[in-house]
Structure 1
Amino acid sequence: MKNKLDKLKSLGINTVFFQVKPDGTALWPSKILPWSDMLTGNIGQDPGYDPLQFILDEAHKRGMKVHAWFNPYRVAVNTKPSTVAQLNRTLALHPSSIFVLHREWIRTAGDRFVLDPGIPQVRDWITSIVAEVVARYPVDGVQFDDYFYTETAGSALNDSQTYQKYGQGFASKADWRRHNTQQLIEQVSRTIKQLKPNVEFGVSPAGVWRNRSHDPLGSDTRGAAAYDESFADTRRWVQQGLLDYIAPQIYWPFARDAARYDVLAKWWAEVVKPTHTHLYIGIALYKVGQPSKNEPDWTINGGVPELKKQLDLNESVPQINGTILFRENYLNQPQTQEAVSYLKSRWGS
């Protein structure tokens, strides 16, 4: 971790997004969640130190900020019998997994175990986890990624009973789902501000809010839209001042017709213009140097010309306050090394 932070510092990176809750487990000694298996291979096993405290100390020492990054609803990354067995074994632990404590909150979607976002107690529980981190640690920010409602065609979230119970008065299930996501964002935003007003709250949603073909206010794109697929009205959160920043994942090159980088970046710049919400653009470091039939620009001259165009645009639009690279480990891959040298020459000291 120290080596990673040294490298990031040398590249001129000033903020790190550290995933403290990848699923229904934690990378800090939580009173609510069992330990993550990310470090030991076993859910609930203490790694012998506090990873969140460690990165906060080390990053702050280097003058870098740390945002605690949460995946709100995911419980496990798959539904294999071995995963079920591991989750069931946490019954003997304190704390146990939510999988065994509240089996009635758990659904399957996208071939993963997830919490049902329509249950009010689920939203309260997620908020309590964020509150635990914000109250106990000197984090600079909290970030949610775009996993609100995540389902696939072959593995949809079955929330029909929840909808029957809580969905009265909504014109459609989609509207009710968006309302649930809205409730979570309001609750978390309010809780963070009550605990520590200067901790920033941000969301990193899919790059497309809505396509213009569905909504005249949408972007001139043809991509999967957060509003329609994740049931997240991200534009509204910005307008209502619920977020300190929004970090849309604009993971396409200028030449990608269905979702052009410049079209989306400028669309978001217009959205934040009349508000106090900062705009940071998430860019696809993971695609740099990767051959792609639809997006060949990522491999031309090591991806440097495409990267340069994206960063130049970000710096030329006053409403864009920064760039986020997804994700750190790709800085260490052979295919990105020309791009890494370029970033160092551009941002490094």
Structure 2
Amino acid sequence: MSSFIVQGWRRLLKSLFPILILISFFTVLLVDSFTPAIAQIPRQEIRGVWMTNNDFDTLKSRDKVQDAVSQLRRLNFNTIYPVVWNSGYVMYPSAIAQRAGIQPFVYKGSDGHDILADLINQAHRKGLLVIPWFEFGFMAPPTSELAMNYPDWFTQKRDGSQTSISAAGEVMWLNPFHPQVQQFITNLVLETVTQYDADGIQFDDHMSLPHEFGYDQYTVALYTKETKNPPPTNSQDAAWVKWRADKITAFMVQLNQAVKQRKPQAIFSVSPNYYDFA
């Protein structure tokens, strides 16, 4: 009896095998083409790609963005980090930047469209997260409108010089301890997460400060007031380093809280800089 039942099941499975294959095939097709309306879904790991405007014009073309997103989906990536802040400019139409007298840089696509909105729309249709990338952090070139219009927003070295050489060339550094600088950065970030259906914010390792900086008038006065001592001549003095690092950390905590109040599920990510530089 048992042998008869086993043979019967084998014949049944054999006859159903082609049907099962077809069901599996169409299931794969459906899953591959399925694109959730909301890309903010739990991820066990992030497989991301930076999308820059340096030497690439991909972001300006709807067709190139579509091709890029499709290729990333095929290659099993799930996150895109498009640049939205570098060289002292934003890459989208920003009321905050315009009120500050900073003209838009490369914020329009080849047909006049909103680059960031187009990328987010196309990426979300393919199920990819989009986390705008504040590449330059506190850096800005000395020739930028930001540096020329707001000289008091920038810090300096002990010898009075204000620039350093980076991978982006010669740059100045916004004073991360200055309340107006903190408010400006906060406003830009909140504008981005509010104006766009972004899945979070990514800060580059330039949300830090080279250890030689912090000797501007504002910071010197603040340090002296809080510690009853002037800043030491040694820029790597442990207490002086810790005081500045703690101030930047406190600002980033406040910025994180502000973002989460606007968008509780937003990813807030900061890339650290190496210890003997920042």
TM range (shorter): 0.5 to 0.7
Where relative contact order (Cα < 8 A, 6+ residues apart) is larger, the structure is: 2
Shift of 1:36: 5.1
Query: Which of 130, 140, 151 lines up with 2:210 in the alignment?
Result: 151
Q: CA RMSD in A?
A: 2.6
Shift of 1:38: 4.7
Aligned to 2:151: 103
- 1: CA distance between counterparts of 2:73 and 2:110? 29
Query: Which of 144, 165, 174 lines up with 2:221 in the alignment?
Result: 165
Q: What's the TM-score, normalizing by structure 2?
A: 0.60
Query: Which of 126, 130, 154 lines up with 2:185 in the alignment?
Result: 126
- 2: CA distance between counterparts of 1:7 and 1:121? 42
Does the 8 A contact of 1:23 with 1:73 survive in 2? no
Aligned to 2:252: 185
Query: Which of 58, 75, 78 lines up with 2:140 in the alignment?
Result: 75
Q: Unmatched 5+ residue regions in structure 1? A: 88-96, 207-223, 231-349
Shift of 1:180: 2.1
Letter matched to residue 166 of structure 1: L
Aligned to 1:12: 76
Does the 8 A contact of 2:201 with 2:269 survive in 1? yes
Superposition pairs of residues 1-349 of structure 1, within 5 angstroms: 1-33=65-97, 34=102, 37-38=105-106, 48-70=112-134, 71-76=136-141, 79=142, 84=143, 87=144, 97-107=145-155, 108-110=162-164, 111-151=170-210, 156-157=212-213, 159-168=215-224, 169-170=226-227, 172-206=239-273, 224-225=274-275, 228-230=276-278
Shift of 1:46: 10
Secondary structure (helix, strand or coil) at the match of 1:172 reads helix
Deviations 1:293-317 (A, max 9, x none): xxxxxxxxxxxxxxxxxxxxxxxxx
Does the 8 A contact of 1:66 with 1:141 survive in 2? yes
Secondary structure (helix, strand or coil) at the match of 2:190 reads helix
Letter matched to residue 201 of structure 1: F
Q: What's the TM-score, normalizing by structure 1?
A: 0.49
Does the 8 A contact of 2:137 with 2:205 survive in 1? no
Deviations 1:307-330 (A, max 9, x none): xxxxxxxxxxxxxxxxxxxxxxxx
Secondary structure (helix, strand or coil) at the match of 1:167 reads helix
Identity %: 27
Residues 1:182 and 1:158: Cα distance change in structure 2 (over 3 Å): closer
Letter matched to residue 50 of structure 1: D
Shift of 1:109: 3.1
Shift of 1:47: 7.7
Bigger CA radius of gyration: 2
Secondary structure (helix, strand or coil) at the match of 1:112 reads strand
Shift of 1:2: 1.8
Does the 8 A contact of 1:149 with 1:229 survive in 2? no
Q: Unmatched 5+ residue regions in structure 2? A: 1-64, 156-161, 165-169, 228-237
